[in-house]
A and B are shown apart, each in its own frame.
Chain A
Amino acid sequence: MDVNEVLLPGVGLRYEFTNADGDRIGVIARRDGDFELVAYPPEDPDEGRPLFRLTRQEADTVAEILGAPRIAERFADLSREVPGLVSGRVDVPAGSPHVDHPLGAMRARTRTGASVVAVVRGEDVVASPMPTEVIRAGDVLVVIGTVEGIEGVRRIVEG
């Protein structure tokens, strides 16, 4: 699935994609943390029809609902050892541009297809971290995906 990212100066970002049914959907991520979803009717693709707005907390909850089954599925895949699927460790160096930013801002899965399934921080392990989990220097990300995908995440993390 191709996600088109559009910068809205002073407002935030807009992600646009077409789903399997052919509906064109836009997600507006405002800088203050609120989200707005719009659908583009086929007769006028320029004008988004507003669907609904979500506050930061509502969006987190929706993300949790949408993300949970997939994570479970991936763990199941892992236990069956799917060919081509490997896990890897990615260190977060102190100079990484993603230090002190939420994990979701990296958009690792959108950009590489690989998923960060855990964050190892000293003695602690954050399993299935939320996109809001803030990355610290010295963290180790546990990534699952293809070899190229994991390499991609490493490149993103190292900036």
Chain B
Amino acid sequence: MHTSLALLLELGVILVVLSALGTAARRFGLPPIPLYLVAGLALGEGGVAPVPAAGGFVEAGASIGVVLLLLTLGLEFSTAEFTHSLRRHVPSAAVDLVLGAGPGAGAGWLLGFDAVGIVALAGATWVSSSGIIARLLGDLRRLGNRETPAVLAVLVMEDFAMAVYLPVLAVLVAGGTWWQATLGVLVAVAAVAVAFVLAHRFGHHVNRWLAHPDAEQLMLRVLGTTLVVAALAEYVNVSAAVGAFLVGLTLTGEAAERARQVLGPLRDLFAAAFFLSIGLAVSLADLLPSLPTALALAVVGAAGKVATGWYAARRDGAARRGRLRAGTALIARGEFSIVIVGLVGVVQPELGPLVTAYVLVLATTGPLITRWAGSPTAGPPRRGFRRTPM
């Protein structure tokens, strides 16, 4: 029973430390993702406190964490919201793609990465963190602002673009001849298209079966289905993450709302394991040399997002201050960039430290910059509206 004792103790200490870090981060208005990464770094090779026993759990938890992260991201947005955003903001998405993915692709090319590395780095520098940003907008009380729908529209389109991008990347990573890759991409795109149609036409049947009134049944059904679909997706090289994401998109309405509530705590635990595992896989000795490149990419990436947000908010008729708020809000990168590293890590080892450093920089400075950008008059007298129980 010695191993299980060590596992329980190490895991318990890790969770308590993460909680303490998270509380400190909230005080400064920072998201927890960078802290989880830092904790992973500290626990990993050459770190301050190696954790041999908990390592196994973190590794296993990480793969479930990716699935749950993508499932809840899929639950966050509906296809209706996507089509609505498409109608208004296709040019904004195009600007976002060029200014976000362009620098990453260029840097990958300059660093001498192969095609997989270039595509992966382009994706990692491109996608903003909808998790961090949606939460930030709520916390900063910006949901009423004119620029907010534009920011959210850019996020929803990025997330849907990931449903096509991730399978393509997964196929490239799996390697094979050009026709295998093409076939894989076609399978992936077809799977995505079929899932969309199914969600649109038969979504309510799926919903009725999954949305059991009992919370425990709901959790077991949604989680079980998602893991099976994720495994099948992995089997055809479309990546488990994409399978989970598609399940999330298929669930709509009240079923999605309840699934979000039930799966939230599980997601938090396993996603923490996932971010830890990425930190664990990167050693400090690799991270430090990649810092200058990551910083340069971060500056370019942040500027690109400011321009994207500026453009998108202007399309919605926001004035200069609103455009600046929209642009700075989009800076934060997070979960998707890390998911990409998780997918590519093995075939492109240089990518891990670089993207980890990139996310560390932008996930911490992004929220700080956007808070600052909204500050001059954003400080309405915060009279405390106390919540009295009804």
Q: Which residues of A contact B (CB under 8 A)?
A: 6-11, 14, 26, 28, 30-32, 36, 38, 40, 44-50, 52-53, 55, 57-58, 61
Contacts and interface: CB of A to CB of B under 8 A. Distances in A.
- Of the candidates A40, A44, A47, the one having the most CB atoms from chain B within 10 angstroms of its own CB is A47
A100 to B, nearest CB: 8
A38 B145 CA distance: 9
Given A50-B144, A52-B385, A10 B152 contact: yes
Contacts of A50: 141, 144, 380
29 contacts: A7-B84, A7-B149, A8-B143, A9-B85, A9-B152, A9-B153, A9-B155, A9-B156, A10-B77, A10-B155, A11-B134, A14-B149, A32-B257, A36-B144, A38-B141, A40-B144, A44-B321, A46-B145, A46-B318, A46-B321, A47-B145, A47-B325, A47-B378, A48-B142, A48-B143, A50-B144, A52-B385, A55-B390, A61-B390
Contacts of B104: none
Main secondary structure of the interface of B (DSSP, over half): helix
B156 A46 contact: no
Contacts of A26: 144
A67 B302 CA distance: 48
Contacts of A28: 143-144
Interface of B: 76-77, 81-82, 84-85, 130, 134, 137-138, 141-149, 152-153, 155-156, 257, 318-319, 321-322, 325, 377-378, 380, 385, 387, 390
B152 A8 contact: yes
Nearest to B141: A50
Contacts of B130: 10
- Pairs of residues from A and B, 10 with the lowest C-beta to C-beta distance, nearest first: A48-B144, A38-B144, A9-B81, A46-B322, A46-B146, A9-B156, A50-B141, A9-B152, A26-B144, A10-B76
Contacts of B144: 14, 26, 28, 36, 38, 40, 47-48, 50
Given A8-B149, A45-B146, 19 more contacts: A6-B149, A8-B148, A9-B81, A9-B82, A9-B153, A10-B76, A11-B137, A28-B144, A32-B257, A38-B143, A40-B144, A44-B377, A46-B318, A47-B144, A47-B322, A50-B380, A52-B385, A55-B387, A58-B390
A57 B171 CA distance: 49
Contacts of B134: 10-11
Contacts of A48: 141-145
Contacts of B142: 47-48
Nearest to B147: A46
Contact of A53 (B257, B378, B385): B385
Contacts of A55: 387, 390
